Chains A and B, each alone.
Chain A
Amino acid sequence: MPTHELILLKNMSTPGYTGSLADYERAGGYQALRKVLGKIAPADVTEMVKKSGLRGRGGAGFPTGVKWEFLPKDYQGPRYLCCNADESEPGTFKDRQLMERDPHQMLEGIVITCYAIGAEIGYIYIRGEFVLGAQILERALGEARAAGYLGTNILDTGFNLDVWVHRGAGAYICGEETALLESLEGKRGLPRVKPPFPATHGLYNKPTVVNNVETLANLPHILNRGPEWFASIGSPPRSTGTRIFCVSGHVKRPGNYEVPMGITFRELIFDHAGGMRSDKPLKAIIPGGASAAFFTDQHLEVKLDFESVAQAGSMLGSGGVTVMEEGTSMVWAALRLMEFFYHESCGKCTPCREGSSWLVQTLRRIMAKRGRHEDLDTLTELCKNIVGRTICAFGDAEVAPILSTLQYWRHEYEELIEAAEAAELITPEPALARH
């Protein structure tokens, strides 16, 4: 039922499109590259991307062109692009589709980016579980090398680039850009202390840009059709272009939906994803992946752009929209996410490491009807002691589900606690098992 033009998902929506180089070229692929390489100065490419208003699609929404500009101008020596394809945010599955169904779209974006930032080596850090994606990318890289889109002297412009696929080994934290770099260097994937930022001290301590798959996939289109065109889509000036929202949960048609930013949650859920799966009304929405604070049915009119979602108290994040119907236990939902964060906390810094285990145990206890009223104050305070005190954004993410469910559905916690008091069940659980 889309009433707008598809950009990123257009090719793969065409019947018979296989994602091969031939198909991609037939659909107008690698034209942007021909337009750019050797014809537009790298600084001008960056300027165009800035003008388009493109912001990172990985979660933080940082303006892409500005990020590129942070690389030191006069640095002699290698610099790198790392494509963050470690899509691990629960409820998010857009990058996987972009890579598996239309790999060359992203590759073209990678070549353009490397040209703009002066990198001669690019890495695609792909989530370890995406075996198929990694195979498809390897095949696509082979095609691109054979066709002269990668390698030495690309399109006779003197520009050299090679791109390598590196598979992760199954840690959520490696989607955090500095942990990704550590992992890529062959070390344990733990976030680095910032500053310094990757722009100056990234991979192997060299200037590095880390961009998300969807972000890179947008670039050929921006350069083909101009930054003004891109900036006119969505809700300019701060949220331009389309976004792929991954709708999951209790809806009729879960899936990836590419829509211009700025449509409302109601439109996304009811017009695109077919509405609720049963006659139960909508109860809660996770607006942007597991790290985003929950919304209620009161937020259906909030627009899906960076500012509106932030103003309403959450974040657009990775674009993973999870919908829950009436009857879902919000304590259970929070616990389910907390179990994930507990499992994935890397353990490098104290508040997140110790906090996640404390929070999950307390939530488990409440859920098992062994909670106490003072637990709710403890939960709130522990969350406050984690936010802003950790090395990376993981700490902020892990407390969002708890704080938001406590804010909107505190009574559900209290009901479980009252049930516990009635049954006098307040003995602790057995010791944490090993992972």
Chain B
Amino acid sequence: MADVAIETVTLTIDGVPVTALKGTLVIEAARQMGVMIPHFCYHPKLKPDANCRMCVVEIEKVPKLQTSCSTPVAEGMVVRTATTVVNEAHKSILEFILANHPLDCPVCDQGGRCDLQDFSHESTPTTSRFVEVKRIFQKEYFSPLIETEMNRCVQCLRCVRYCDEVMDVKALAPSGRGTMTEIKHFSIHELDCEFCGGCVQICPVGAITSRLSMYEFRPWMLKRADTICTYCGDGCQITIQTKENELIEVNSSHGAGRNNGDLCPRGFFGYHVSTHPDRLQHPLIRRNGALVQTTWEEALEFIAETCLSLKLAHGPTAFAGLIASRCTNEDLYVFQKFMRLVIGTNQLDSSARYGHINGVRALLRVQGTHRWTIAFEDIVSAHALLLVGTNITETNPITGLKVKEAVKKRGAVLVTVEALQPAIGTISNITNLAAHHVTAHPERFGDAVLGLIKGVVEEGLVDPSLTQRAPEYVKAISEAVRCLPWSAIEQATGSTSSALRAAARAFADAPRAVILVGQGVLRAPGGSGVTTTLLDLLLLTGHHGRPGCGLAPLAEENNDQGAVEMGTVAEFLPGPGDLTDQAVRERIAGLWKEELPQTPGRTLMEILDDARAGTVKVLFVVGENPVGTLPHAARAKEALERLELLVCQELFLTETAALADVVLPACSYAEKSGTFTNTEGHVQSVRQAIEPVGESRPDWEILSALSVLLGYPIEYREPREILKEIRSLISGYGLLGPAPIPPRPDAAVVEGYLKKGFAEDVTSRYSLSSSTDRQAGNLTLVVAQSLFHSGKLSTRAKGLLELQKAGALALNPADATLLGIAEGDQVRLSNARGQMTTSVQVRDRVPEGQAVFPEHFDQEVRRLLSVSPDPQTGAPYFKTTQVKVEKV
């Protein structure tokens, strides 16, 4: 954090002396002492606009009333918020607003939580002097999810300002003049924006509301549960509001959670998954080839009996397990304990394998931490931010907001190395804010990083104290990058050496610098290596270990971090501790009072190989869907069909569950309690919002019940008991406070890395990727995350389906012209592996030569993709391939 001298001033508000930080606004100073000055346009997140004139107060020695939202406190200031003059002024503003405001509170969704209603009840008479005719706006269709009723608008422009200042989307604007001012979007067709719901949340009246919950509730009927969103690793706090066990709406109050009340479309509009009609209500069992409904008793007994006989016949190495990182820490913990103790195998893995493990492994290797050494606050207060391989708005929207805040409000220098290029669009594009941008090919982020390091070395930006401390390290890396010719780097990255040098300088010169690493790197071949090289960049520029500086891999799934820490990945025990580390094993065995299995861990791809080879005969799958996620080339289906027993705990009958012998209905996050660990390593409470759907049960409870039948009971009464056990094993799970306390890098590990560790693979990391040049006429197909979906679960959310129903191929205008394709045309994608047809979107931000397809609707696209496990970490790579695109 910055070392800024904190200056305070003392003033008097309503006769009470108050001390506030210099620069605090009077309205905030009053709020701090418990005086709420009525207001509409003011919002702590937004720059003061002082347009509603509601918050006026008397300030001694100032002749006119002053708006407290735009007046900073001053030493000796005397403020009065409730004099006759002030009260009369408040009344007059309300009288003015109510002149044109319709009295339709009985049908307004905001009724009961409306600022205008509340202030009016406080201070205006029940009748109005206004006898003229009210202004009327014609009702206009706005968008499928957001409803506007402009007659209710008080023109405070909070929505417009939020959309611009916080989201950087600028989708809304006031249109018309004077009393005919209404909030509109820019185009003639319906609203096309990020649909973060911010305008709905920030509207003080009922002018902008959600269509998903329209007319379904009155605020006082709703039951609220503060919990955590599951659509990405950001870990936003959401409040699920329910009425009679029905999900009515989701919001997040200002100041709440790590997201500070901001949400993205997935968080705000994507909540209907839990109550989707396709949810599995009862256990299913396979009889005569078909899955039929059964009872819990029968299903569990069948599993137990089959398991026992197969274990007797083949031993515990015939068993393996996969779990989704969407599960709570409690589920994950019980799962690995179940696999290790009840079954007796370490052959288990989770969806953290898809990429998150790459980041964690690099962090552990270089600095000995498995978590970020920074928090969101450090992103906001960084002077320079380097984003590598992350279209952050679409993958981690709220971390993206922190970046936007740092750049837009605090003037941080943004350096982006991204596949997408800067271009104006309806979704904010983080590269548009970049001072230095490298449009790197999605397979060559590593080359761009080497270019930056070469820039640092050649510009003489290497930290002198590091040169002293680790001369060999600096020498080795300097020599390695000197050997890389600029011409090759320029060719690989499409950036000039001077641009890369300038970006390197901007990053190196910043007192506080943060690197954010996204899926583009983490889910790419050698992702762990590139992340390690990025840590080299931090070390070389002297940022590593400095307060507020650090490298942060962005988690894709809500509990990727928890999955690693709970030990539900092949290489780790809870902690995470290395599976092969004897001290770790002994400690855990001591706490569990049981020997740990000796078998090595197996990764996701290895487990599938084993199943295909017939050595693994039983697979427990909890919420994970390898058949639906991996490309056809991974032959997951073939592997699972060879199993003798496949048990799935699922919300829906997924592609994987459809192959199962027993399918057990599991609870979604809305129906259970527990904890998630977000991308920054912050452990947060998940709270139950609705009763379990059908006969579904939490995953940990299912595993616990099975353990009893398998003769090795691991029983807990409630998730809190599991958390208690987790606490005894894993640090960082003690206090669920409002903000994370990031760990510091382990100096000994860093020293070891600088002395010796780096040398292991310095040659391979510091060589440019072998260029697999695109064949003429082919495009690089990139499978990417969309802002409106997360994995496949969100494709069951009716709100999100309104925004994006199907996948479409995004092409650069130049390529589209070349291929004779226009927006909306049908195209055929083909390569040696297969073909598919889809429609086309022409988008400026897609670079020439690339074609981007969302990964959520990709039943067909997975035919085209190849898959290759990372040699170091086993992370399967299947994000890019080459295809031929033809108009149909």
Contact = CB atoms under 8 A, between A and B. Distances in A.
Interface of A: 171, 188, 193, 342-351, 353-358, 361-362, 365, 378, 385, 388-391, 428-432, 434-435
B96 A391 contact: no
Nearest to B48: A193
B178 A357 contact: yes
B432 interface: no
B133 A432 contact: yes
B300 to A, nearest CB: 65
B65 interface: yes
Given A171-B177, A345-B177, A351-B53, A385 B92 contact: yes
B155 interface: yes
Contact of A347 (B48, B133, B181): B181
Contacts of A344: 177-178
A356 B178 contact: yes
7 nearest A-B pairs in the assembled complex, by CB-CB distance: A354-B96, A361-B132, A385-B92, A347-B181, A345-B178, A357-B179, A193-B50
A435 B96 contact: no
Contacts, number: 112
B49 A193 contact: yes
B131 interface: yes
Contacts of B64: 388-389
A175 to B, nearest CB: 15
Given A354-B97, A385-B89, A388-B65, 7 more contacts: A193-B50, A345-B178, A354-B96, A428-B131, A431-B135, A432-B180, A435-B180
A189 to B, nearest CB: 10
Nearest to B101: A354
B663 interface: no
A349 B132 contact: no
B136 A193 contact: no
Interface of B: 48-54, 56, 64-65, 67, 70, 89, 92-93, 95-97, 99-100, 129-136, 154-155, 157, 173-174, 176-181
19 contacts: A193-B49, A343-B178, A346-B178, A347-B155, A347-B176, A347-B180, A349-B52, A350-B52, A350-B154, A351-B92, A354-B99, A356-B178, A362-B132, A385-B89, A385-B95, A389-B64, A431-B135, A432-B180, A434-B180
A380 to B, nearest CB: 12
B96 A358 contact: yes
A342 B178 contact: yes
Contact of A188 (B56, B99, B173): B173
A40 B104 CA distance: 67
Contacts of B134: 431
Say what secondary structure dominates the interface of chain A: loop
Give the interface centre of A348, A378, A432 by most chain B CB atoms within 10 Å. Answer: A348
Given A358-B96, A385-B92, A385-B96, A435 B135 contact: no
Interface centre among B67, B155, B157, B179 (most CB of A within 10 A): B179
A303 B124 CA distance: 46
Contacts of A435: 176-178, 180
Given A391-B51, A428-B133, A432-B135, A351 B96 contact: yes
B53, B67, B95, B99 — which one has the most chain A CB atoms within 10 A of its CB?
Answer: B53
Contacts of A429: 132-133
A347 B179 contact: yes
B53 A390 contact: yes
A348 B52 CA distance: 8
Residue among B174, B177, B181 with max Cβ neighbours from chain A (10 Å):
B177
B99 A358 contact: yes
Nearest to B88: A385
Nearest to B56: A389
Of A342, A344, A351, chain B has the most CB atoms within 10 Å of the CB of: A351
A357 B177 contact: no
Contact of B53 (A171, A188, A389): A389
B53 A361 contact: no
A343 B721 CA distance: 68
Contacts of A431: 133-136
Contact of A378 (B50, B65, B129): B129
Instruction: Find the residue from A193, A365, A378, A430 having the highest chain B CB count within 10 A.
Output: A193
B53 A350 contact: yes
A345 B135 contact: no
B135 A346 contact: no
A353 B89 contact: no
Of A193, A346, A354, the most chain B CB neighbours within 10 A belong to A354
Nearest to B160: A188
A239 B48 CA distance: 37
A354 B49 contact: no
Contacts of B92: 351, 385, 389
A308 B176 CA distance: 39
Contacts of B56: 389
Contact of B50 (A365, A391, A428): A391
A343 B179 CA distance: 9
A346 B157 CA distance: 13
Contacts of A357: 99-100, 132, 135, 178-179
A350 B97 contact: yes
A350 B181 CA distance: 11
B794 to A, nearest CB: 36
Nearest to A377: B129
Contact of A428 (B132, B135, B136): B132
A171 B174 CA distance: 15
Nearest to A360: B132
A349 B53 contact: yes
A7 B607 CA distance: 95
Contacts of A365: 132
A435 B179 CA distance: 10
A354 B52 contact: no
Contacts of B179: 342, 345, 347, 353-354, 356-357, 432
A99 to B, nearest CB: 26
B180 A346 contact: no
A390 B53 CA distance: 7
A393 to B, nearest CB: 12
A349 B174 contact: no
Contacts of A391: 50-51, 53
Nearest to A429: B133
B133 A350 contact: no
A431 B136 CA distance: 8
B203 to A, nearest CB: 16
Nearest to B96: A354
A353 B52 CA distance: 10
Contacts of B176: 347, 434-435
A431 B64 CA distance: 35
Contacts of B135: 357, 431-432
Contacts of B129: 378
B287 to A, nearest CB: 68
B224 to A, nearest CB: 32
Contact of B174 (A188, A361, A362, A378): A188
A362 B155 CA distance: 22
Contacts of B133: 361, 428-432
Contacts of A356: 178-179
Contacts of A362: 132
A349 B93 CA distance: 10
A354 B99 CA distance: 7
A434 B135 CA distance: 9
Contacts of B181: 347, 353
A388 B65 CA distance: 8
Nearest to B179: A357
A348 B154 CA distance: 10
Given A346-B178, A435-B176, A351 B51 contact: no
A362 B129 CA distance: 11
Nearest to B71: A195
B178 A350 contact: no
A428 B130 CA distance: 11
Nearest to B89: A389
A390 B50 CA distance: 9
A355 B96 contact: yes
A111 to B, nearest CB: 34
